[in-house]
Structure 1
Amino acid sequence: MSQNAHKYSLTTRIFIGMVAGILIGVLLQLIFDDSGDLRFSIFGYSISTYNILVDGIFSTLGQIFIASLKMLVVPLVFVSLICGTSSLTEPSKLGRLGVKSIGLYIFTTAIAISLAISLGLLVSPGVGVEAPSDAVFQAQQAPSFGQVILDMFPTNPINSLAEGKMLQIIIFAVLLGVAMAMCGEAGKRIASFFEDLNTVIMRLVTIIMNLAPYGVFVLMAKLFSSIGVNMLENLAKYFFLVLAVLIIHGLVTYSVLLKAFTGLNPMMLFYKMRDAAQFAFSTASSSATLPVTMETAQNKLGVGKSVSSFTLPLGSTINMDGTAIMQGVATVFIAQVYGVDLTVSDYLMVVLTATLASVGTAGVPGVGLIMLAMVLQQVNLPVEGIALIIGVDRLLDMTRTAVNITGDCTVACIIAKSENELDATRFNNKKAGLKEEEVDLEHFDKNS
């Protein structure tokens, strides 16, 4: 790899890839019409390469990049969690970590949806918008809370690993780690193997991160070549309100919590989260971004492994601040579109339902829309209203994923500080983690 490839930092290269992808996507929209044909002819011929570029090259390469990230999630969570729990000297620490993590995640989610509803009522994004008669949305059935609790415990750990059932993986890894810690020398020998395996997996994470600018480029090019601008115009008030609440919650709420509980500088957190946030924005998946989030927390923010390996996988599964914000604004928006007046008790019920549902529907595909359907049914609003906002939900999903993983790292820092497992020197060092971040692939290949 040439020296010019490392002339710019990884953050800069990811940003360049993102901007270039957006510009290419917009350019493709201008050149090609809705059917994929050129809007103009060249020498009398209309040549279409839209499907080859967008549905072929961009789509395939983008899916490969996402698959590469997801490939790391299960082994990373499983191995790092075993390493973290097997090194614990006091079993009671696991209980504290669990109570603190879940408590803080639920607390920030309640703040998020309360803020969203308040600003939604203030701005009134649904006033003046007509409800189309053909709006249809089929919501998946969410499991009961009791079923969710049962589904957390694996009957076949190998099957859980194969299917990527994160809560089951977390519980199995924690139990296995605790058992290793209680087995003396035998446990230490196995723990040594997992420590070496964890080192190898983290190196694999850095290799994938070096390929991120190219993956981000094709993802952005694919997305922005197919976004309907007219749909964004019709929902502009809703779209920008959700975006504004996400930004306020991400910058203000997390800053206040971090400063109040740890005394650390929030700007340093945001500065070091930039790579992970760009990953999250591009992939729109907290789980796919998890390897980068954990690398950021451990190497750049100084969060201890025993805390990060437990708190972050749990957060990527149950922390739904961004989704809660969408639900709050969407509930107000749909109520106003259909002319339904909700009472104060209705809005309190929305806050309670959405907060509890953030944990209760953790493992369900399409969790955001399922949770929104549950909330709407709770206050007797038409579920069909979800069809109104689906068109712009992809862009908002990207932004709320970035907010979610920022919340995950904020909570991880707070808990690590309370457990005396936060390296403040590393947190405050702008250059901390750069050696792990900038991997020279050419040098790595020669010595592998």
Structure 2
Amino acid sequence: MKAKSVANNYRFLIILLLAMIFGAVTGALAPGFSHSIAFLGTLFIRMMFCIVVPMVFASIAGAVASTKSRKRAGKIMMVTIISFVLTGAFAAFVYFLLCQIFPPVTAAWANLPKGEVGEHATMTEMVLNFFTVEDFSMLLSRKAMLPLIIFSLLFGFSVNLSGEAGKKVAEFLDSLTAVMMKFVQIVTYYAPIAFFAIFADLVATYGSQITESYARALLLYYPVCFIYIFTAFPLMAYIGAGADGVKMMFRHILKPAVVSLGTCSSVATIPTNMEAAAESGISKDVSDIVIPLGATMHMDGSCFSCVLKIVFVMGALGTPVHFSELPAIVLVAVLSSVGMSGVPGGGYIGEYIIASIFFPNNMELAFPILVAIGNLIDPPATMINAAGDYVVSFMVSRFVDGKNWMKKMSLQEK
């Protein structure tokens, strides 16, 4: 991959990070000015609030509606989704334990407005509001993201099962998704200005605690990602094809990993993953389903970051994180990952979902903090997400083509 191409893919991320740094410096040196420009950040947040509901509905419902799986393909898809959910849940569980041992925020941020500390949804509220809302109009609220995801999945399945009658609806959903992606892209051009203002105001309000908290978060996240690659990935390959699978995986995984780091996009890594899968002897129909589906659904790295984000904001708010909240956090980590698109930066969808579920009363504070963490840890998260799509195809092959699928493929090639 050319250095110029890598630079182009990371250019916006670098600009955004520089805006955050300059904003933090401005907040420390000119707190009065920083407070006066806070509205520039609020403008961006409110625009994203308006975009996210139709975007989540169109992307999820459209993806399910357009799926053309029958018989063997249906079995492949079922095993694939189960694999994605299990690996994502495992990643979230492991990272939750690590955050209990090494909390990213050791002390609540000072100067929080009275009445905001600890205001997050309780377990009972999350369970009650998990599947649906009282009225259809409430699905359009920014505080009903999980019910919207469930509704979108069911709507997509309904369109898919309608056959020819649902074809035009599926096409409309695909078109709407493309339009909303462009909408997000347009709004994102304003993001550097917004994050300059947001971080200037945050540092002016909460001081040096912000720098310390983010540093601890990064020191915990980056090493864990690389440890995961050399422990969980070999385990998945071993489950899929034994010791030979582990050797094959390490022989071909470097290229997808490098491409995902260079592009910072799971979707952009699809062709390289397809090539690696073919060279590993994985059936074409398996790779044709697992890898594209994984670009938007398989998000182990994002599950890591989701847990980190939730625990981080809870720590900043001074809210203790108990093991009783583990099921809810793991569930949200997996489901919010499904809502993320395979584009650089994830379109801020995952951050929005997390904020709306766990911090509905603190969204304007939580959302920019979550997005900042997302930008800082996006490269290694994308690498795990994208390269992991190739590794999961080993496990799917094991359950679809049998225990000795790799040996059978080798004999067929001969």
TM-score (norm 1): 0.55
Q: 2:354 aligned with 1:372, yes or no? A: yes
The answer for the alignment partner of 1:245 in structure 2 is 224
Whole-angstrom distance in 1 between the partners of 2:272 and 2:111: 42
The answer for the alignment partner of 1:108 in structure 2 is 87
Q: For 1:325-404, what aligned pairs fall within 5 Å after superposition?
A: 325-359=304-338, 365-377=347-359, 384-404=365-385
Q: For 1:170-209, what aligned pairs fall within 5 Å after superposition?
A: none
Whole-angstrom distance in 1 between the partners of 2:373 and 2:348: 15
Q: 2:262 aligned with 1:282, yes or no? A: yes
Whole-angstrom distance in 2 between the partners of 1:125 and 1:313: 33
**Contact preservation (8 Å) 1:15, 1:278:** no
Q: For 1:124-203, what aligned pairs fall within 5 Å after superposition?
A: 124-128=103-107, 130=109, 133=112, 142=145, 143-152=148-157, 153=159, 155=166, 156=168, 157-160=170-173, 162=175
Equivalent position SS for 2:230: helix
The answer for the alignment partner of 1:416 in structure 2 is 397
Equivalent position SS for 1:419: helix
Could you tell me how far 1:319 is from its partner in structure 2?
1.3
Could you tell me how far 1:368 is from its partner in structure 2?
2.1
**Contact preservation (8 Å) 1:232, 1:392:** no
> Which structure has the greater CA radius of gyration?
1
**Contact preservation (8 Å) 2:310, 2:358:** yes
- How many positions carry a matched residue from both structures? 295
Q: For 1:215-364, what aligned pairs fall within 5 Å after superposition?
A: 235-263=214-242, 264-298=244-278, 300-359=279-338
Q: Which amino acid aligns with 2:309?
A: A
Whole-angstrom distance in 2 between the partners of 1:110 and 1:258: 18
Please, which of 89, 102, 111 is the counterpart of residue 123 of structure 1?
A: 102
Could you tell me how far 1:392 is from its partner in structure 2?
4.4
The answer for the alignment partner of 1:5 in structure 2 is none
Unmatched 5+ stretches in structure 1: 1-12, 36-76, 86-90, 166-221, 433-448
Q: 1:115 to 1:386 in 2, by over 3 A?
A: farther
Whole-angstrom distance in 2 between the partners of 1:331 and 1:115: 14
Q: Which amino acid aligns with 1:376?
A: F
**Contact preservation (8 Å) 1:294, 1:312:** yes
The answer for the alignment partner of 1:405 in structure 2 is 386
Equivalent position SS for 1:342: coil
Q: 1:131 to 1:426 in 2, by over 3 A?
A: farther
Could you tell me how far 1:249 is from its partner in structure 2?
2.5
Percent identity for Structure 1 against Structure 2:
20
Q: 1:21 to 1:367 in 2, by over 3 A?
A: closer
Q: After superposition, what is the alpha-carbon deviation per residue over 1:304-362, rounded to whole angstroms, capped at 9, x for unaligned?
A: 11111111121112112111111112222222222112332112221123224444667
Q: For 1:38-77, what aligned pairs fall within 5 Å after superposition?
A: none
Equivalent position SS for 1:241: helix
Q: Which amino acid aligns with 1:103?
A: I
Higher percent of residues as helix: 2
CA RMSD of aligned residues (A): 4.3
**Contact preservation (8 Å) 2:336, 2:350:** no
Equivalent position SS for 1:235: helix
Q: 1:336 to 1:233 in 2, by over 3 A?
A: closer
The answer for the alignment partner of 2:47 in structure 1 is none
Q: 1:246 to 1:144 in 2, by over 3 A?
A: same
**Contact preservation (8 Å) 1:109, 1:324:** yes
Could you tell me how far 1:292 is from its partner in structure 2?
2.5
Whole-angstrom distance in 1 between the partners of 2:339 and 2:5: 37
Q: After superposition, what is the alpha-carbon deviation per residue over 1:73-127, rounded to whole angstroms, capped at 9, x for unaligned?
A: xxxx9xxx97xx7xxxxx5323321221111110001001101111011111101
**Contact preservation (8 Å) 2:9, 2:263:** no
Q: Which amino acid aligns with 2:78?
A: V
Q: 1:18 to 1:94 in 2, by over 3 A?
A: closer
**Contact preservation (8 Å) 1:116, 1:329:** yes
Q: 1:360 to 1:280 in 2, by over 3 A?
A: closer
Whole-angstrom distance in 2 between the partners of 1:314 and 1:109: 14
Whole-angstrom distance in 2 between the partners of 1:370 and 1:335: 15
Whole-angstrom distance in 2 between the partners of 1:312 and 1:21: 21
Tell me which moved more, 355-364 or 118-127.
355-364
Q: After superposition, what is the alpha-carbon deviation per residue over 1:348-380, rounded to whole angstroms, capped at 9, x for unaligned?
A: 2211232244446679953321332255249x8
Could you tell me how far 1:145 is from its partner in structure 2?
0.6
